[in-house]
Amino acid sequence: MTDTTTTTTDTTATTTRHSALIPLPEKAARYGTLGGAVLTAAATFMAWTWTAEFPGDLTVTGYPGGLQVLTLIGALITLLLGLSALGIRGLRWLTPGGTTAPTLLFALGTLGTTGYTLGAISYRLGGVVNLEPGAWVAGIAALLTTLCALGLPADEPDPDATDAWARFRNTLKAPPARPATITLPSWAEILVIAVAFGIALYVFTYGIDTEYVELFTGFLILVLFGGVALTKTGLPARLTALTAKHRTIALTAAFVAAAAFPFTQTNDTYTNVAANILVFATVALGLNVVVGLAGLLDLGYVAFLGVGAYAAALVSGSPDSTIGVHFPFWAAVLTGAAASLVFGIVIGAPTLRLRGDYLAIVTLGFGEIFRITMNNLDGDSGPDVTNGPNGIPNIPDLEIFGFNLGETHTVLGVDLGRFANYYLLMLVFTIIVVTVFRRAGTSRIGRAWVAIREDETAAQAMGINTFRLKLLAFALGASLAGMAGTVQAHVQYSVTPDQYKFVENAPPNSAFLLAAVILGGMGTVSGPLVGAALLYLIPAKLQFIGEYQLLLFGVALILLMRFRPEGLIADRRKQLEFHETDQLDVPEQRLPDEPAVTKAGA
């Protein structure tokens, strides 16, 4: 009995040692991680360079600034996660899932942000000689923190992880979040939801308000690692359970937080970016009806956005409109949505009997036909309707109930400029689209769409009229895109054919819209919104990537398909489809004299 116990203990110790990438005693790894995080945080209060030529003024001793703030935040969160792993009272709630994976990921994020800062200082100022001792201390401390974090035992040790890469991947795994031991009252749960969306608003506002490229790049690095780390802690799983329990309150809190964004801005510089993000996100959510629910690969969806924009531009009183009419706002919106709806039915009726790649090619052709047609309706190559390549400029600002969206208005003591007004208007349209998507997805028609997406032949055999329902999805998605196009035409003052290409450097276009749905998570409400925000915000802030944008975009999609094919925010169905489950082994049938063998063992 003693020998068996000793053998078991030795095996466990060996497994624990092999589960860590760097063989360190557990106490040394834990306290080394804590000490490194404290030293990294302390180094942010020292000067990192001697000149203020580098943006953010990193020359001051006594308080951090610019990129130092990001390093400080990363180090403090790493410290909190490390203390949580020690079981300190009041901090264990931070990690209902695991402790090692989130600690390591935040340590890597802090190291990445710090290393990028040191490299940016050296590159911009002309060498490492421009680094002050505080920068070296921060870099070495962040590296020490990461090395010690790599020595932490995995949350779920795997004895089969023998090589370095397998042990590293095993270290990044986290067990499912433990169920909450304390049941909160309803008001406390609602408060948690409100605080979570408040934090999300602050993070988004901080990112969009970054004044220079270096700060946004450092922010992006920390958010990338931090976002993955948060999923490993298990906190998002608990928050998801709360939002599912209080779904209406969660959606209300989300839109209240979004509506508060213009009130955090002092000018329209970044509100313009936010307004265009909402246009892009709303159109992506409309495409999610077609691709995410019905499973129809549409590569020409941006054409429906263009149909709505052109229809609204023709009837909104532009002096360059060939029609010469001026509809009120609501009539212009209905005109744009109705025009896209008609085009969706006209294009979908003869083409939706196709499937897969054939349907994708036809829709791609429709997108190009629309752009070329708008280009040729100039009075020379065809009737004078759209002014050809010149488009329809000078579209007047909308006026709703005497409220001119092109003028500055003071609301609650805050001056809201033109783009802030359009941002709030677009937010209303986003609410409408989200409501339509939710209602459609949970209805009988929505379940039929999902059945068609999973297996069209089986759905047809069960009595579902697949053609009619696919046409309905196509028409609904087209009308939602046309509705967003009416606002886009007024936000940008003009519409031209070149705005609606399949691929171009600036979204929205069909390729980026489809990527936003896939990146965020098909079939979900928040997935396309998050994916569209990332795909629009990153090129808008990192303008230096220029012509390398599509290359980096392709690399990002390849990595996503490799490591998270279900998207950033995936529903339960996609997670079960793309990842192994922890279901119990089912014993196979056997003869009475045969030993029991499970399917996993077989």
Within 10 A of 14 (CB to CB), how many other CB atoms are there?
12
| Residue 260 contacts residue 201 (beta carbons within 8 Å) | yes
Helix (H, G, I), strand (E, B) or coil at 197: helix
Q: Which of 37-41, 177-181, 418-422, 495-499 has the lowest mean pLDDT?
A: 177-181
Instruction: For residue 63, report the phi and psi dihedrals to the nearest 5 degrees.
Output: -150, 145
Helix (H, G, I), strand (E, B) or coil at 495: strand
Instruction: For residue 99, report the phi and psi dihedrals to the nearest 5 degrees.
Output: -120, -40
H runs (alpha helix) in 443-465: 444-454, 456-461
Work out the widest C-alpha separation in the chain, in whole angstroms: 96
Residue listed under structure tokens 């890469």: 165
Q: What is the pLDDT of residue 9?
A: 39
Domains and CATH numbers, the chain: 15-237 (no CATH), 260-545 (1.10.3470)
Report pTM. Answer: 0.82
Per-residue confidence band for 211, with pLDDT thresholds at 50, 70 and 90: confident
Per-residue confidence band for 339, with pLDDT thresholds at 50, 70 and 90: very high
Rg over alpha carbons for the chain, rounded to the nearest Å, is 27
DSSP 202-263: HHHHHHHT--SHHHHHHHHHHHHHHHHHHHHHTHHHHHHHHHHHTHHHHHHHHHHHHHTGGG
Q: What's the length of the chain?
A: 602
Q: Taking residues 75-92, report their average pLDDT.
A: 85
User: DSSP character for 292?
Assistant: I
- Indicate whether 602 pLDDT > 80: no
β-bridge pairing 403-404 and 409-411? unpaired
Per-residue confidence band for 576, with pLDDT thresholds at 50, 70 and 90: low
Q: What is the pLDDT of residue 505?
A: 54
The C-alpha angle with vertex 508 and arms to 502 and 513, in degrees rounded to 5, equals 75
Instruction: For residue 384, report the phi and psi dihedrals to the nearest 5 degrees.
Output: -85, 95
Compute the distance between CA of residue 502 and CA of residue 539 in angstroms, rounded to an integer.
Answer: 17
Query: What is the pLDDT of the chain when averaged over all its residues?
Result: 83
Per-residue confidence band for 111, with pLDDT thresholds at 50, 70 and 90: very high
Sign, CA torsion 406/540/250/80 = negative
Find which of 14-23, 65-74, 235-244 is predicted with most confidence, using mean pLDDT. Answer: 65-74
Share of the chain above pLDDT 70, in %: 89
- pLDDT tens digits, residue range 17-26? 445 778 888 8
